[in-house]
Amino acid sequence: MLMERELEKVNAFYLQKEAELKLRLKTLLDKKKVTQSRSETTSKVSATFITLEEGFQQFGNDLNKLQSRTKELYLSRAVEVQPCFNRDVISELSDQATTSLLELGAWAEGEKINYEGRGHVLIGQPIGTDENDTDSQFLEAVVSGNEASLRDWVSRLKESQDARGRITRTFLAAIPDAPEDSLTGLLNTGLVNIHSEDEINERNCLHEVAISGRAFVLRIGLERGVDLERADVYGRIPLHYACMHGRVDMVRTLVTANPATINMMDHDNFTPLIHAIVHHKLECVEQLLSYNARIDPSSESDHIPLNLACQHGSISIVELLLQKHAKILPDAEGLFPQHLVARSGRTPDLLLMLRNYGADLDEVDRLNQWTPIFHAASEGHVDILKTLLGSKASVDILDEKDLSAMYYAAWEGHLACMRLLAAHGGSPGTARSPVAIKPLSSVRTSGAPEPMSIDSDGIPILSLPPPIIPLRRYGHNFLDTKIFVQISFEEAGSEAIVFYHDSKYPAARLTISSKLSDLIPRNVLLPIQEDTRIISFQIDNLESFAIDFDIFPTFGSKVIAKTVALPNLFRAATSSSGQCCLPLFDPRLRAIGQINFNFQVIKPFQGDPLEITHFATYWKATSQFDSHPNALITGSSLSGEYVRLFVQLTSDLVPVLYSRWTVSYGDIEFPVNRLTYDQFSKVGSVNQSRNKVLTQLREAVKKQDSASLHRTLAKSFISLQEALEFLPAAVHIDLQVLYPTAADERARGLGPVPSVNDYGDAVLKDVFDHVRALKEKSPDFMRSIMFSAFNTDMCTALNWKQPNCKEEGMATADVSTLQSSGRYSTSVKEAVRTAQSNNFMGLICCSRLLDMVPALVGSIKVAGLVLVTDTSGDSTYTTGSAFQRIQEGIDGTVRDNGVLKFNETIDM
């Protein structure tokens, strides 16, 4: 019975909303048809066009809010909102609103276009404004202030059947811009209904006055008794607009005229005080508080003025509210004012002010049991963190997952915050069990609701599943004949898609597809969230591959913007990656925005690959239906010691062993990639003879000294091919491929560097040739080879080009001084996401990071990754004790002597 009652409540709510929205849309469509029937064109400055456009835009906003409300009701009541108002209804209404907006824009620019059918039909292109559009011309006469012209227009319109209505509409539209004499002249005609409202936005003259600031019209409206409590289509009264626009004198006048309006709410539950706060109108706040505006919520759905002022960083407003004894309360998300200050990162002094008025800086929120220090650390707000630590806020508190602020700073890659916490004895948290961490961006921002925002979780029905990829038990998925194309919005972030007029397209979704290839389209809700910032395709060829970007309303099917990335972008011979910025065009081919992304193209190995049936791959179970909850990599696949070899290419694409970007010749440093192999060898012969190098290598092999092999090979100046031929088959190898990032190229002058495809192919060719030769000599015994790299592009390329060897990505969240080049810092979260999305075997993390935050081990392991700790450069680890000291959950260690050692059995 209880469930039935809940369903009845939900369905009643949606039946009401459906009726209201359909009535509003019908009114807008009828008004549009009347406007179009009166003349061939309309003007963008006409009152009718402005109100119609605003009406359709607000209608789209309300549809978006309704879908968000649908999700809230489902989550809170655990019932599916069914039978009446569903996605199809919302989509139909959205399409009609979008079509009307497109037609209106075209109509106002002289193009009579009908979008009702497939595509659009151009009916005609009259030039200029039709002479019969009298309303627009009359409005222009009023705004210009030409008295003679105005009198002439009034005398002509008096004879029309709808003279009173037309002059009243013009009066309302002219309030913002017309001279006082023109407005007075209209009022003196006796044909202006001062109580009238606009048919679309439902605003009367007092609404327009509060927006525009025309004080004399306010005086006339009050004298003639215009309703001060009349709400427009947004639920706002004139006092709301006066506060939004900072009309201090009007605020005083309106509140004095009707004190009952001071706490009235609009459809967003915003009171006049809330509007004044979020628009930073300090003097309006002072006025409202002097009239005893309510500062504490009266119900759970009310917004809290103090919390919003803290979120917006308004010190003066916060002080005013605290002086009025505002209570320190949690908002609907469970966050107190001090949490909002810490999360927003604005104005650290607010924390001290709140503390002085009784706020507890160690207060835990109701969301994750986080104190303000957690929010500051996870968002990387160093100044906020300094203020909290200076105020003796505790660094040892753990949240509901038994994790510390130090953990979140490390997970997000905020090194400065980590150092601050460590200097104050920050707790490492617990490493008891793996914890899956959701991206913090999925948490909705507290405080003022954003009508134009989309719930970051997205709407499930709009999400398409990723392409079905066959599960493999041996090795990993690789490119046989396909080409891998990856589109990334990571670097662009919130600027990935920009509309030149933000308010015009409040809620949208991006569809990424390729009409020239048989690919499954991908739907992405805007703004783009962290878990949808990387899109991958596997295609047959680049000659005909193009990517179409189409933007739709969130719940509609009418395109509002589109663009295309042409084949020549992806098939550039000299580069496998790059950045791109494309214009977004509306259906009339006007540029209305832009889209920014990075791309990477990985081609199959251009050589003779190893045959999977002849050469064993490593063992990695990827089936979801395994009877065992964990996948184990057997000792025969990944165990023992691996000698690390640093590999990079010379200018003639010969893989050589060298651990730094540059070699010294006299007093000059030369980039290795600028030298030919012969030049590189000659530089090496100056330092030491080749015979001496070979002698040292033979001694190291004889002693089975892996550390000595690493040291000798690192400065041997020999090619990868020679090293592989020389090393006995029993020596396992970790090939660390040095490939500079774009930042390295610019900072060190290393360019031009071969594309990641050419680079990877050159290394793989030598490895594959060596493996085949070794197979002929010793059919029953093969050496294990794994690849590692700090550059994620290189890791991705090596991973997709072959199925036989293991790839380990590098994640360092601590800067250390080592003799190898190519290291850079990244967040653990970013490293884990990259490794998962590209199916890497695992990560190599700095040992100091894992010592500081042991809980990171569980989070990495729960992602199904092998975890290796790098102890090189860490003086607390000795060569003899390093492996014995590794904590539970870590699968191997890289020692300072250049040897990587794995456990016998690895739990993934």
More confident call, 261 vs 907: 261
| Alpha-carbon distances, residue 904 vs 664, 733, 784 (angstroms) | 41, 17, 14
* Token pair in block for residue 32: 């549009």
**249-278 mean pLDDT:** 95
Alpha-carbon span 298 to 320, nearest angstrom:
20
Which of the 8 DSSP states describes residue 292?
Answer: T
* Token pair in block for residue 194: 């001062």
Could you tell me if 801 and 761 are in contact, meaning their C-beta atoms sit under 8 angstroms apart?
yes
Looking at CATH, the fold of the domain delimited by 295-431 is given as: 1.25.40
pLDDT tens, position by position, 530-559: 778 888 888 888 888 899 999 988 777 888
Q: Is 687 exposed, middle or buried (0-12, 13-18, 19+ CB in 10 A)?
A: middle
Could you tell me if 531 and 439 are in contact, meaning their C-beta atoms sit under 8 angstroms apart?
yes
- Total Cβ atoms within 10 A of residue 340: 28
Please state whether beta strands 534-539 and 483-488 pair in parallel, antiparallel, or not at all (unpaired): antiparallel
Which of the 8 DSSP states describes residue 461?
Answer: G
Pick from 125, 46, 105: which is nearest to 589 by CA? Answer: 105
Please state whether beta strands 591-602 and 112-114 pair in parallel, antiparallel, or not at all (unpaired): unpaired
**CA count, 13 A, side-chain hemisphere, 265:** 12
| In the predicted structure, residue 779 carries a pLDDT above the cut 90 | no
**CA count, 13 A, side-chain hemisphere, 30:** 8
Alpha-carbon span 646 to 655, nearest angstrom:
10
Alpha-carbon span 519 to 522, nearest angstrom:
9
What superfamily in CATH does domain 198-291 come from? Ankyrin repeat-containing domain (1.25.40.20)
Alpha-carbon span 410 to 398, nearest angstrom:
15
Domain ranges of the chain: 2-124, 133-193, 198-291, 295-431, 460-602, 632-907
Tokens 């003279």 — which residue? Answer: 163
Alpha-carbon span 62 to 234, nearest angstrom:
10
- Which pLDDT does position 309 carry in this prediction? 95
- Which pLDDT does position 451 carry in this prediction? 33
**653-659 mean pLDDT:** 93
Task: Band the pLDDT of 806: cuts 50, 70, 90.
Answer: low
More confident call, 278 vs 883: 278
Worst-scoring range by mean pLDDT, 433-442, 695-704, 820-829?
433-442
- Which pLDDT does position 114 carry in this prediction? 67
More confident call, 111 vs 140: 140
Please state the three-class secondary structure of 752-792 as a single string: CCCCHHHHHHHHHHHHHHHHHHHHHHCCCCCCCEEEEECCH
| In the predicted structure, residue 458 carries a pLDDT above the cut 70 | no
Q: Which amino acid is at 297?
A: P
Angle between helices 47-77 and 134-144 (to 10 degrees): 100
Tokens 């402005």 — which residue? Answer: 50
Could you tell me if 373 and 414 are in contact, meaning their C-beta atoms sit under 8 angstroms apart?
no
Alpha-carbon span 642 to 635, nearest angstrom:
13
Q: Which long-range contacts (CB under 8 A, 24 or more apart) does 562-571 make?
A: 563/595, 565/599, 567/542, 567/543, 569/599, 570/485, 570/542, 570/545, 570/599, 570/601, 571/542, 571/543, 571/545, 571/601
Tokens 């694409």 — which residue? Answer: 653
Residue 539 phi, psi dihedral angles, 5° rounding: -125, 170
pLDDT tens, position by position, 20-68: 777 777 777 776 776 666 555 555 555 566 677 777 777 777 777 666 5
Q: DSSP of 19-62, one letter per residue?
A: HHHHHHHHHHHHHHHHHHHH-S---TTSHHHHHHHHHHHHHHHH
Tokens 């925002």 — which residue? Answer: 453
- Which pLDDT does position 140 carry in this prediction? 82
Q: Which amino acid is at 838?
A: N
Which of the 8 DSSP states describes residue 291?
Answer: T
Task: Band the pLDDT of 350: cuts 50, 70, 90.
Answer: very high
pLDDT tens, position by position, 591-623: 989 999 999 999 998 888 776 555 545 444 433
Helix (H, G, I), strand (E, B) or coil at 339: helix
Q: For domain 632-907, which CATH number applies: 3.30.70.580, 3.30.1490.20, 1.10.10.10, 3.20.20.190?
A: 3.20.20.190
Q: In DSSP terms, which residues pair with 602 in a beta bridge? A: 484
- Which pLDDT does position 155 carry in this prediction? 84
Per-state percent for the chain, helix, strand, coil, to nearest 5: 40, 15, 45
- Total Cβ atoms within 10 A of residue 484: 22
**CA count, 13 A, side-chain hemisphere, 451:** 17
| In the predicted structure, residue 475 carries a pLDDT above the cut 60 | no
**648-663 mean pLDDT:** 93
Tokens 């806020």 — which residue? Answer: 393
Residues 6 or more apart from 450 whose CB is under 8 A from it?
A: none
| Total count of residues recorded for the chain | 908
Tokens 């809290």 — which residue? Answer: 304
Alpha-carbon span 199 to 197, nearest angstrom:
6
Alpha-carbon span 467 to 517, nearest angstrom:
14
Q: DSSP of 633-689, one letter per residue?
A: E-TTTS-EEEEEEEEEE-TT--EEE-SSSEEEETTEEEEGGGS-HHHHHHHHHHHS-
Q: In DSSP terms, which residues pair with 563 in a beta bridge? A: 549
**What integer best gives the mean pLDDT of the chain?**
79
Label residue 413 left, alpha or beta by phi (over 0 means left) and psi (-120 to 50 means alpha).
Answer: left
Task: Band the pLDDT of 890: cuts 50, 70, 90.
Answer: confident
More confident call, 10 vs 239: 239
Q: For domain 460-602, which CATH number applies: 3.40.50.150, 2.60.40.150, 3.40.50.2300, 3.20.20.70?
A: 2.60.40.150
Domains 295-431 and 460-602 agree in fold? no
| In the predicted structure, residue 280 carries a pLDDT above the cut 50 | yes
Of all residues in the chain, what percent carry a pLDDT higher than 70?
A: 76
Alpha-carbon span 129 to 226, nearest angstrom:
35
Q: DSSP of 843-861, one letter per residue?
A: EEEEHHHHHH-THHHHHHH
Alpha-carbon span 807 to 803, nearest angstrom:
10
Question: pTM value?
Answer: 0.78
Pick from 794, 804, 781, 796: which is nearest to 741 by CA? Answer: 794
Worst-scoring range by mean pLDDT, 21-35, 631-645, 729-743?
631-645
| Alpha-carbon distances, residue 222 vs 19, 253, 256, 288 (angstroms) | 34, 10, 11, 20
